[in-house]
Amino acid sequence: MISVIIRNRNEQDYIGFAIQSVIDHFKNPEVIIVDNNSTDDSLEVINLFIDRADIKVIRIDSYTPGKSINLGVQRATNDIVLVLSAHSQITEVSLDRVKEILNHHKAVMGQQNPIYKGKKISKRYIWSHFGEEPCINMYSEIENRPFLHNAFCFYKRDTLIKKPMPENYSGKEDRYWAEALNKEGYTYWYTPEFKCNHFYTKNGATWKGIG
C-alpha cells in the first residue's frame, strides 16, 4: 500500500495523467491532493477518479512546497509515501523494489523524462541529473549543492514525520532537506529503474530556460 501526495494549483491539463498513472501502477493507492486555491477545472478532473482510488483533497491557503508536503504526510495512512508532481506521469515503477531501497536509504528518487509540448527532448540543465546510472547522495554541479527532486520521490512516512520538509522556502525544499540529511550522515538514492514523464508547464520552476 502507498500514499501519493500531489500538490495542485490549476493543473487541469495534466493532473488526470498523474492520477491515472498512480492507479495503473499501484494497487489500492491513497491519493492525497493538496490544493492551493485552484480556479481552473483541476478539482473537477480529480473528482472523475473518486470511484477508482481513495482520494482525499486538502485545501491550503498559505502555501509553500514544504508545508504542503508535510500536510499531506500528516494525513497519509500508509508506510510508504510518494511525492509526485501534478504534471508527472509514472511509466515504470516497482513498489517492492521501492521498499527494498528504503530499507537502506531515507529517500529514493526516480528518473524524470522531460516532455515539451508532447515532444521528448534532450536532457539539459536540470534534466541532465536524470541519467542512466544509479547513485547515492546525488550532487549537482549546476546548483553546487545536493540534488533531490520531489516531482517523483519516495519516502517512508516515518522518515518525513521525524524529518519534515522545511516550510520556509518558496521552492527547492527538496535540496535543503537533502543537504540537512547529508549533514546528519543519512543517505538518499537515485535510480533510473523508476521512470516518469514530466510534462512542460509554462509556469513550472523546473522548466525555466527550457524550450
Q: Domain 2-207 is classified in which CATH homologous superfamily? A: Spore Coat Polysaccharide Biosynthesis Protein SpsA; Chain A (3.90.550.10)
Distance, CA of 59 to CA of 146 (rounded, Å): 31
**End-to-end CA separation in angstroms for the chain:** 37
The pLDDT assigned to 206 comes to: 61
Lookup: cell for 32: 492525497
Q: Cell 493532473 identifies what position?
A: 15
- Our measurement of the distance from residue 1's CA atom to the centroid of its chain's CA atoms, rounded to an integer in Å, reads 17
Query: 65-75 and 173-183 are packed helices; what angle lies between their axes, rounded to 10 degrees?
Result: 70
The pLDDT assigned to 201 comes to: 82
Provide the mean pLDDT of the chain. 94
- For 68-111, how does the pLDDT look when each residue is reduced to its tens digit (9 = 90+)? 999 999 999 999 999 999 999 999 999 999 999 999 999 999 99
- For 151-205, how does the pLDDT look when each residue is reduced to its tens digit (9 = 90+)? 999 999 999 999 999 999 888 999 999 999 999 999 999 999 999 999 988 765 5
Domain extents for the chain? 2-207
Distance, CA of 116 to CA of 192 (rounded, Å): 20
Classify strands 107-116 and 119-120 as parallel, antiparallel or unpaired: antiparallel
The pLDDT assigned to 125 comes to: 86
- For 114-131, how does the pLDDT look when each residue is reduced to its tens digit (9 = 90+)? 999 899 998 988 899 999
The pLDDT assigned to 173 comes to: 96
Distance, CA of 1 to CA of 103 (rounded, Å): 16
Q: Cell 545536493 identifies what position?
A: 146
- For 12-26, how does the pLDDT look when each residue is reduced to its tens digit (9 = 90+)? 999 999 999 999 999
H-helix or E-strand containing 136? strand 135-136
